[in-house]
Structure 1
Amino acid sequence: MALKNFLIAAILTVVPASAFAQDWTGPYAGFQIGASDIDVDGAPLDGDGPSYGMFAGYNVQNGAVVYGGEIDYDTTEYDIGNGAVEVDSTTRLKGRLGSDLTAGLVYGAAGIVWATSPELGDDNGYFIGVGYDAKLMGNAVLGAELLYHDFDDYNDSSLDVGVTTFKARVSFNF
């Protein structure tokens, strides 16, 4: 329920975008805050929690098509199974492909994610998702991103972990 309310609030924040044509080529970096919903198949360990992080990337624009790469790091407070398991951090290596809609950039994202957990150890998985960025005045960008993460047989266990995250993002183009 908290993820749903956070998602609605963040989308309403991003909707009023600039109506000017944009050039998305170049480096960028910023900060993000998010919420998660965690589903563990094979064990009663579902959970949720907030995350806080930073990211940096580079975009290239060719006509209306925008593509690029990004790396992000989040400190997480994921509480799984009523505190039985915690996830301390996640790191993502992301490819992005999108379209300049004049009022903003809509994109798809996919890549590799690494997670650290004191109880379960570290493991990697993959993620897919969508996002939207809107340029504000100057070089500031306000965005939102919805990602689904999948960890099959987390750390060689029989646990399949799915994590859905929603993030509000603020970045600056250089």
Structure 2
Amino acid sequence: MTLNKILVAAAITLAPTATLAQDMTGAYGGIAAGIADIDVNDGALAGDGSSVGVYLGYNIDMGGIVYGGEIDFDKNDYEVPDAGATVDYATRLKARAGAKVGGGLLYGVGGFVLATSNQLDEGQGYLYGVGYDLPVGGNYHVGAELLQHEFEDDALQVGVTTLKVRVGFNF
């Protein structure tokens, strides 16, 4: 087989599938589990942890672009050991916009986050990131989401990076 044929075969195999013909408008919800990396005051303190939560959202399919909103709630096991602090819960309000790629939805996300801790005041911040949801078997979907959270007050600057896997149902 010539090099050109190999390159053409590889390009066809690796190219994203055609845009989904189905309408992605509607409500969805599910569960998510993930991990976090925490950076306080530009590396002065660090931490990590895991989370499990639920999410609920709604998409509006405008042809080539899908817009939507989502709210999620996590029970966290985030810890910054040297500060003796934990983050117990996080609630996020997110706006999403994306395109149908490879059989699923590739999207960007931005929004607000509220984190609660028994040791610290409630933290309010903003978030941004990317995600991908892939329909599987009927009305189900699986996906992943990578988010960067930023919190800032007079004494602290906290960055939290989360990576979550998602499993849900489209209503």
Deviations 1:129-157 (CA, angstroms, capped at 9, x unpaired): 0000100010000000000000011xxx4
Contact 1:143 1:168 (C-alpha < 8 Å) held by counterparts: yes
Q: Distance in 2 between matches of 1:141 and 1:42?
A: 37
Equivalent residue, structure 2, for 1:170: 167
Structure 2, unpaired ranges of 5+: 1-15
Deviations 1:77-109 (CA, angstroms, capped at 9, x unpaired): 001134710000000000000001251100000
Aligned residue type for 2:95:
G
Q: Distance in 1 between matches of 2:74 and 2:139?
A: 23
Q: Distance in 2 between matches of 1:59 and 1:42?
A: 36
Q: Distance in 1 between matches of 2:17 and 2:69?
A: 24
Q: Distance in 2 between matches of 1:138 and 1:42?
A: 45
Equivalent residue, structure 1, for 2:105: 105
How far apart are 1:121 and its partner, in Å? 1.5
Contact 2:104 2:134 (C-alpha < 8 Å) held by counterparts: yes
Deviations 1:27-86 (CA, angstroms, capped at 9, x unpaired): 001000000000000674310000000000000001120001000000000011347100
SS at match of 2:155: coil
Contact 1:21 1:103 (C-alpha < 8 Å) held by counterparts: no
Q: Distance in 2 between matches of 1:59 and 1:173?
A: 10
Percent identity among equivalent residues? 51
Q: Which has the larger radius of gyration?
A: 2
Q: Distance in 2 between matches of 1:132 and 1:58?
A: 15
SS at match of 1:46: strand
Contact 1:42 1:159 (C-alpha < 8 Å) held by counterparts: no
Aligned residue type for 1:123:
G
- Number of aligned pairs? 155
- The change in CA–CA distance for 1:135 and 1:42 in structure 2 (over 3 A counts) is closer
Contact 1:38 1:162 (C-alpha < 8 Å) held by counterparts: yes
Q: CA RMSD in A?
A: 1.8
Structure 1, unpaired ranges of 5+: 1-16
Contact 1:104 1:133 (C-alpha < 8 Å) held by counterparts: yes
Equivalent residue, structure 1, for 2:116: 116
